[in-house]
Structure 1
Amino acid sequence: MTAEDDAKLALLRETLEDNVDLTTYETEVYLALVRGGTQTMTDIAETSDVPKQRVYDIVDGLRERGFVEVIDDYPRKAYAVDPSEALSSIRDQISRAEEYLEELHDTVETVESGVALFKSESTIKRYVSDLLQTAEHDILLLLPVDRLSAVVDDLEQCADQQVRLVLSNASPDELEEESLHESIPGTVDEARVVSTREDFALTTDRSRGLYWVQEGRDYVEDEGQGYYVTNPSLAMVLDRFVSESIWPLAQPLERSSKRPTLPRQYMRIRDCLADVSVLTDSQPVDAFEITFEGYDTETGEEVTETGTLTSYYYTEYDVRSSLTLSVDTATESLTSPKITVGGVGTRNVDYTAYSIELRQNGTSHAAKIDDETRRHLEACKAELPPEFGNGSVALCFDAFIDRMREFIQRRPGGEYEQIRQFDAFREALVRYEASETPPRVEWRQTRTEPGGLIAHVGGVFDELGYDVTLIGRMGDPIRAEFARKFRDQTLVSLGRTTSTDYVWFEDRKFLLTEPNPEPLNWARIEDRIGASAFAEYIDGRSVVNMGSWYSTPELVDIVDHLRDDIWPRLSSPPEHVHFVPGEVDQLSAEELERGCEALGALDDVVPVTITANRNQTRRFRDILLQRSDEETVPTVQRVRERFDVTRYVMHSQRGATLASRDDVLSVKAPQVVNPHQLRNVDEHFLSGMTLALAEGLSDGAALVLANTVASYFMRHKKSPESREIRTFISEYEAFFAE
Structure 2
Amino acid sequence: MDAEELIETLEDAGLSPYQADAFVTLLELGSASATDVASASSVPDPRIYDVLRGLEEQRYVETYEQDSLHARAHDPAEVLADLRSRANRFETAAEEIEDRWSQPDIEEHKVSIVKRLDTVLARADELIRAAEYQVQIGLTPAQFDELSDALETARKNGVDVRLCLFPETAGDLAIPPIETLERACSEARRRDLPSPFVALIDRSWTCFSPYGGSTNEYGVIVNDWTLAYVFNWYFITCLWEVLETVYTDRPDEPPFTYADLRQCIRDIEPLLEDGLTIEATIRGFDTETGREVTKRGTVVDLTYAGVSMDDDQSAPLSQLAGETSLTLETDDGTYTVGGWGAFIEDFEAMRVTVEAID
TM-score after normalising by structure 1? 0.31
Instruction: Say whether 1:243 aligns with 2:236.
Output: yes
Give the whole-Å Cα distance in 2 for the aligned partners of 1:189 and 1:277.
23
Q: 1:241 is aligned with what amino acid?
A: Y
Q: Tell me the residue number matched to 1:125.
A: 121
Shift of 1:350: 4.8
Matching residue of 2:278: 286
Which residue, out of 333, 348, 352, partners 1:353? 348
- Taking the TM superposition and a 5 Å limit, the aligned residue runs for 1:137-176 are 137-159=133-155, 160-169=158-167, 174=172
Cα distance in structure 2, aligned partners of 1:148 and 1:344: 26
* Contact 1:291–1:307, Cα closer than 8 Å, also in 2: no
Instruction: Say whether 1:196 aligns with 2:193.
Output: yes
Distance 1:9 1:184, change over 3 A: same
Instruction: Give the AA of the match of 1:98.
Output: I
From the superposition, tell whether residues 167 and 114 of structure 1 become closer, same or farther in structure 2 (CA, over 3 Å).
Answer: same
- Which residue among 260, 270, 279 is the counterpart of 2:262? 270
In 2: Cα distance, 1:92 partner to 1:213 partner: 32
Equivalents in 2 of 1:182, 1:204: separation in Å?
Answer: 23
Assess if the C-alpha contact under 8 Å between 2:117 and 2:209 holds in 1. Answer: no
SS in 2 for 1:356: strand
Structure with greater Cα Rg: 1
For residues 196 and 267 of structure 1, the distance between their equivalents in structure 2, rounded to whole angstroms, comes to 26
User: What CA distance in whole angstroms lies between the structure 2 residues aligned with 1:135 and 1:318?
Assistant: 28
User: Greater relative contact order: 1 or 2 (C-alpha under 8 angstroms, separation 6 or more)?
Assistant: 2
Instruction: Report the CA distance shift for 1:246/1:125 in structure 2 as closer, same or farther (over 3 A).
Output: closer
Q: CA deviation at 1:201?
A: 0.7
Determine whether 1:135 maps to 2:131.
Answer: yes
1:13 aligns with 2:16: no
Distance in 2 separating the partners of 1:165 and 1:10:
59
Residue 163 of structure 1 and its aligned partner are, at CA, apart by: 0.6
The answer on whether the counterparts of 1:289 and 1:309 sit within 8 Å (CA) in structure 2 is no
Cα distance in structure 1, aligned partners of 2:252 and 2:127: 24
Query: Is the CA contact 2:133–2:350 (under 8 Å) kept in the aligned structure 1?
Result: no
Which residue in the other structure is 2:330 paired with? 327
Cα deviation, residue 252, structure 1: 1.4
CA offset at residue 198 of structure 1?
Answer: 1.5
Do the aligned residues in 1 keep the contact of 2:280 with 2:352 (CA within 8 Å)? no
Whether 1:214 aligns to 2:211 is yes
Cα separation, 2, equivalents of 1:157 and 1:28: 59
RMSD over aligned Cα, in angstroms? Answer: 5.0
Contact persistence 2:258–2:264 (CA under 8 A) = yes
Distance in 2 (CA, whole Å) between partners of 1:155 and 1:278 is: 33
- Check conservation: 2:199, 2:207, Cα contact below 8 A: yes
Letter in 1 for 2:164: V
- Structure 1 residue 309 corresponds to structure 2 residue 306: no
CA contact (8 A) 1:244 1:319 kept: no
Query: Per-residue deviation at 1:114?
Result: 0.7
After superposition, the Cα gap between the structure-2 partners of 1:244 and 1:133, relative to the gap in structure 1 and judged at 3 Å, is: same
Q: How far, CA to CA, are the matches of 1:274 and 1:121 in structure 2? A: 36
Q: Please give the secondary structure, in 2, of the residue aligned with 1:158.
A: helix
Q: Given that residues 168 and 211 in structure 2 are in contact (C-alpha distance below 8 angstroms), is that contact kept between their aligned partners in structure 1? A: no
Partner of 1:252: 245
Quickly say closer, same or farther: Cα 1:157–1:302, change in 2 above 3 A. closer
- 1:13 aligned counterpart, secondary structure: helix
| Structure 1 residue 174, shift from structure 2 partner | 3.5
1:134, CA displacement in angstroms?
0.7
Q: 1:239 to 1:224 in 2, by over 3 A?
A: same
Assess, with a 3 A threshold, how the Cα gap between structure 1 residues 291 and 152 changes in structure 2: closer, same or farther. closer
Contact 2:141–2:175 at 8 Å: present in 1 too?
Answer: no
| Whole-Å separation in 1 of the counterparts to 2:184 and 2:269 | 21
CA distance in 1, matches of 2:112, 2:188: 29
- 1:189 Cα deviation after fit: 0.7
The C-alpha deviation readout for 1:507-563, integer Å capped at 9, x for no partner, is xxxxxxxxxxxxxxxxxxxxxxxxxxxxxxxxxxxxxxxxxxxxxxxxxxxxxxxxx
| 1:101 is aligned to 2:104 | no
State the match for 1:412 in structure 2.
none
Tell me how far apart the structure 2 counterparts of residues 248 and 343 of structure 1 sit (CA, whole Å).
Answer: 17
How many residue pairs get matched? 277
**Contact 1:140/1:165, CA 8 A, preserved across alignment:** yes
- C-alpha distance in 1, partners of 2:316/2:167? 22
Check whether the contact 1:208–1:231 (CA below 8 A) recurs between aligned residues. yes
1:263, 1:357 within 8 Å by CA — same for their partners in 2?
A: no
* Uncovered stretches (5+) of structure 1, i.e. residues with no partner: 1-5, 19-23, 33-45, 48-90, 331-336, 362-672, 675-738
Q: Deviations over 1:226-252 (max 9, x none)?
A: 222222333333233313553213221
Q: CA separation in 2, counterparts of 1:12 and 1:199?
A: 46
Q: CA deviation at 1:301?
A: 6.9
Post-superposition shift, 1:10?
4.3
Per-residue CA distance 1:614-650 (angstroms, 9 max, x = gap): xxxxxxxxxxxxxxxxxxxxxxxxxxxxxxxxxxxxx
Alignment of 1:330-341 (within 5 A): 337=334, 339-341=335-337
Give the deviation of 1:190 after TM superposition. 0.6
Quote how far apart the aligned CAs of 1:360 are.
2.6
2:228 equivalent to 1:231: no
Change (3 A) 1:290 1:183: closer
Q: TM-score, normalised by structure 2?
A: 0.58
Whole-Å separation in 2 of the counterparts to 1:262 and 1:28: 83
Checking the alignment, whether the CA contact within 8 Å between 1:293 and 1:356 is kept in structure 2 is no
Q: Which residue of 2 aligns with 1:635?
A: none
Structure 2 SS opposite 1:157: helix
Given the superposition, is the C-alpha separation of residues 207 and 266 from structure 1 closer, same or farther in structure 2, using an over 3 Å criterion?
farther
CA contact (8 A) 2:169 2:193 kept: no
